[in-house]
């Protein structure tokens, strides 16, 4: 598996260095595509590693500004020490956000496995009240997400709606794909109609077309939402949406820990393996 992933890595991972991500973002920008850059790293158990993560993100937002790249940043709170201390993660996140806001940028909170959902939402809500230039991912496969979206709409928060890529128990998550898709559709409509800035993070063309129809029928301005996709996935669809005048943002991951990150995703759910393989030739 690792040999196979290494072979295809250049398509889905920008590289190991920050400059690789910046260069990839520039190439996407030339095609009219915006980006969000993520320095790969999660499940940090050492405060020094969390501090290094902060330093990397501080450097990253400076590089984005210096090179005039159309990119914002995205992080996982376990990369910033959530497993060590929620307070540590909050303080580290605020350090990055302050710098990003100073440089006129925006920060997305990634969502991780369900054991981190409550802490991630709590820390986000606290920091979003101070820094509106932040948004958060919500996973449609979790039963709780409808209530979470209601709360986030009240907070006027930007939401990145995703299906979810972690292995979860049927006690807390929809086990069937059709139900995950159905909940995604319902939450997407609520978000779009609420006026909240909505990032529709999916490669599912049926859901993409549904979003376009909702926006058209309800006269929702195209600057009130965007489509987000992964680097190297559905490239034809990305380009077509840009040609149609929609905002498209591609997730650009980089870092030395790309292999553990990718292996974990591939082994957690068989659907992740199939998803990558079937998009190789797009």
Annotated catalytic residue within 110, 148, 181, 249 = 110
Long-range contacts of 5-12 (CB under 8 A, 24+ apart): 5/259, 5/262, 5/263, 5/266, 6/259, 8/276, 8/280, 9/258, 9/259, 9/262, 11/231, 11/232, 11/280, 12/230, 12/231, 12/232, 12/233, 12/253, 12/262, 12/276
Q: Which of 38, 83, 148, 160 is catalytic?
A: 160
Orientation angle between helical segments 177-194 and 205-217, nearest 10 degrees: 30
Which 3 state secondary structure label does DSSP give 162?
Answer: strand
Let me know if 11 is a catalytic residue: no
Q: Which residue from 31, 83, 7 is spatially nearest to 252, judged by alpha carbons?
A: 31
Task: Supply 103's token pair.
Answer: 């440089």
Whether 222 is catalytic: no
Q: Which of the residues are catalytic?
A: 110, 160
């Amino acid at each position: 598996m690792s040999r196979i992933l290494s072979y295809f890595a250049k398509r889905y991972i920008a590289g190991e260095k920050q400059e690789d991500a910046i260069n990839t973002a520039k190439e996407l920008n030339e095609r009219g595509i915006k980006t969000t850059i993520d320095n790969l790293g999660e499940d940090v158990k050492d405060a020094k590693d969390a501090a290094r993560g902060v330093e990397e993100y501080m450097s990253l937002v400076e590089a984005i500004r210096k090179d005039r790249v159309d990119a914002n940043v995205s992080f996982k709170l376990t990369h910033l020490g959530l497993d060590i201390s929620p307070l540590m993660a909050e303080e580290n996140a605020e350090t990055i956000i302050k710098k990003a806001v100073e440089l006129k940028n925006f920060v997305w909170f990634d969502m991780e496995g369900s054991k981190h959902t409550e802490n991630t939402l709590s820390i986000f809500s606290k920091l979003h009240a101070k820094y509106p230039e932040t948004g958060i991912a919500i996973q449609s496969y979790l039963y709780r997400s409808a209530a979470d979206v209601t709360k986030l709409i009240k907070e006027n928060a930007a939401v990145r709606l995703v299906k979810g890529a972690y292995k979860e128990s049927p006690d807390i998550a929809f086990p069937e794909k059709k139900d995950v898709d159905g909940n995604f559709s319902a939450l997407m409509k609520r978000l779009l109609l609420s006026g909240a800035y909505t990032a529709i993070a999916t490669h599912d063309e049926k859901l993409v077309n549904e979003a376009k129809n909702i926006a058209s029928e309800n006269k929702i301005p195209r600057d009130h939402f965007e489509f987000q996709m992964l680097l190297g996935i559905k490239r034809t669809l990305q380009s077509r949406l840009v040609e149609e005048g929609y905002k498209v943002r591609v997730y650009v991951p980089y870092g030395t820990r790309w292999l553990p990150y990718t292996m974990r995703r591939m082994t957690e759910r068989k659907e992740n393996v199939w998803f990558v393989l079937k998009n190789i030739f797009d």
